[in-house]
Amino acid sequence: MDFILEPLNLVTFFPLLGVFVLLFLKKEHKDAARWTALVASLVTFGISLWVLAQFNAAETGLQMEINATWFTFGAWEIKYALGVDGLSILLLLLTTFLTPISILSTWTAVQDRVRDFMLFFLLLEVGMVGV
């Protein structure tokens, strides 16, 4: 359970919780889709601030590293690895800060398929943060 609650895992995959909620919303509930995406992105930004609070700028190299082996095929291994350094922490904060602003900027501009738009926007955030 500790693996799931690692701050980097949370900031990376929390928007997926919003995606799952959006999957169960009816397409007619446009405002609920907007609010769900906004809340998910704001919580993700809050988690990124938590990551920043744990970051030690005096240290060099990767911090808060997560390494796990997912699959092993004979001599081949597929591994899952996350970590932040001085540059990536800034990019993480920038991404999670701009995502709610971007969602707010589309509040009235997107009128058709709002649920789908917000769902894919949160998936985009997962991809951007995960890189």
Q: What is the pLDDT of residues 31-69, one digit of tens each?
A: 999 999 999 999 999 999 999 999 999 999 999 999 888
- DSSP labels, 71-115: EEETTEEEEEEEEE-HHHHHHHHHHHHHHHHHHHHTTTT--SSHH
pTM, two decimals, is: 0.90
Domain that holds residue 123: 7-130
**Count of domains in the chain?**
1
5 pLDDT tier (thresholds 50, 70, 90): confident
Of 89, 96, 94, the C-alpha closest to 122 is: 96
- Does a structural domain hold residue 79? yes
- Does a structural domain hold residue 2? no
- Does a structural domain hold residue 60? yes
In angstroms, the CA 115 to CA 127 distance is 19
In angstroms, the CA 40 to CA 14 distance is 7
- Does a structural domain hold residue 1? no
- Does a structural domain hold residue 117? yes
- Does a structural domain hold residue 66? yes
